[in-house]
Amino acid sequence: MTPKPKSNSNKKIAEKSENYKLVANNRRARYEYEILETFECGIELKGAEVKSIRVGGRLSLTQAYCQVEKGQLWLHLVNIAPYEYSSGFGTFDPNRKRKLLAHKEQIDFLYHKTQEKSWTIVPLSVYFKNGKVKVTVALAKGKKTYDKRAAIIQKDLIRESDRELKNRLK
């Protein structure tokens, strides 16, 4: 058993900071999966891909997933729209797999957890942090349909209680 690496789940990302800019959020993953642990990773991109994300922000994480292959973490099925003004060697395949940059201990931890307990690794968000593109990936367990219904009911109860509290304060 490998030692558990330090996770970034305890660190709060200052969303109001000038150094943080959210590009894409995978809301579907939070609905479909129970998030157990999160990690922050870098991503290996080509120049036109970075420009496309920075200028257009057209990035889709809806069907994306991560996989450990030969000791490296890869991001599959992320669609980055091509940059309009790139041509020749600057063009790229919008659906190619992309390498995620993480610590070796984190990759080993994710690999062992996905092998022994059949959990999965999903990307949660893509954002710029200090000018670099970062991806938040999560070790997740699939929810059953009754878990999803319970989550919806819980959200509705919270929404109603907030609405009543708001009306009382008026």
Cα–Cα distances (Å) from 4 to 1, 109, 129, in that order, read 9, 7, 25
Cα–Cα distance, 69 to 57 (Å, whole number): 28
Q: What is the pTM of this model?
A: 0.75
CATH number for the domain formed by residue range(s) 20-143: 2.40.280.10
Express each pLDDT in 85-143 by its tens digit: 776 666 677 888 999 999 999 999 999 999 988 799 999 999 999 989 999 999 999 88
> In Å, how far from its chain's centre is CA 149?
23
Domain boundary assignment for the chain: 20-143
Cα–Cα distance, 66 to 73 (Å, whole number): 7
DSSP 17: S
Cα–Cα distance, 29 to 125 (Å, whole number): 10
